């Protein structure tokens, strides 16, 4: 009976093993607010209580767009892809099929940047605003697919965590 329960719990684990991943797979997509993250300083870290993604950004066009970095940049734990506005990130069934870049991509207000982590997890940022011509800040919403996999159509749940890490320490190991 215990084997049957474990098999059922891991049905959505996308090839990952371990009890933590089985629990997270049930959770769906976590989301939260991005509030005025400064450009080119520190990193933004987001995810569940076990797994996370890390990203830094910089302004591209004043009050319009920003640069987002793939794994060729040491401040990023993920490769990047831009889903142009007005697409809803929660309608994406298979984010793993996007053509991710290891370098930088430019995204505009309204776009969603998808992240494919080195750790196998997927996340996204929908950009609401890029403000300022010097010391710009970014506002938007973050998403994290708990349990791995790129299906963002599963239920949206709370419980995720995010923080701005000015010292870059939160990205180690990812």
6-60 per-position pLDDT tens digit: 222 222 222 222 223 333 444 689 999 999 999 988 888 898 878 889 898 999 9
- Please report whether residue 24 resides in a domain: no
CB-count burial class (<10 Å; 0-12, 13-18, 19+) for 134? exposed
Strand pairing partners for 99? none
| Helix (H) or strand (E) segment spanning residue 83 | strand 78-83
Question: For residue 160, what pLDDT is reported?
Answer: 74
Question: For residue 143, what pLDDT is reported?
Answer: 95
- Please report whether residue 3 resides in a domain: no
Cα 4 to the center of its chain, rounded Å: 32
pTM score of the predicted model: 0.81
- Please report whether residue 82 resides in a domain: yes
Question: For residue 27, what pLDDT is reported?
Answer: 62
83-117 pLDDT, tens digit each: 999 999 999 999 999 999 999 999 999 999 999 99
- Please report whether residue 139 resides in a domain: yes
What is the DSSP annotation of 108-120? ETT-EEEEEETTS
Per-residue pLDDT, averaged over 148-168, amounts to: 79
- Please report whether residue 166 resides in a domain: yes
Q: Which domain holds residue 79?
A: 31-171
Closest CA to 134 of 68, 67, 77, 63: 63
Count of structural domains within the chain: 1
- Please report whether residue 141 resides in a domain: yes
- Please report whether residue 5 resides in a domain: no
Strand pairing partners for 121? none
Strand pairing partners for 124? 114, 143
Per the structure block, which two tokens stand in for 95? 């984010």
- Please report whether residue 23 resides in a domain: no
């Amino acid at each position: 009976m215990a084997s049957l329960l474990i098999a059922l719990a891991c049905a959505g684990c996308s090839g990952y093993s371990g009890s933590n991943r089985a629990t997270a797979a049930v959770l769906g997509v976590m989301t939260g607010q991005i509030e005025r993250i400064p450009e080119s300083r520190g990193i933004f870290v987001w995810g569940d209580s076990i797994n996370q993604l890390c990203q830094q950004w910089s302004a591209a066009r004043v009050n319009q767009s920003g640069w987002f970095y793939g794994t060729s940049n040491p401040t990023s734990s993920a490769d990047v892809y831009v889903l142009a506005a007005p697409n809803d990130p929660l309608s994406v069934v298979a984010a793993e099929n996007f053509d991710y870049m290891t370098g930088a991509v430019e995204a505009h207000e309204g776009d969603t940047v998808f992240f494919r982590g080195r750790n196998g997890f997927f996340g996204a940022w929908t950009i609401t605003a890029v403000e300022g011509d010097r010391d710009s800040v970014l506002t938007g919403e973050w998403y994290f697919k708990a349990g791995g996999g790129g299906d963002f159509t599963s239920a949206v749940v709370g419980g995720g965590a995010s923080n701005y890490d000015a010292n870059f320490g939160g990205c180690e190991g990812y």
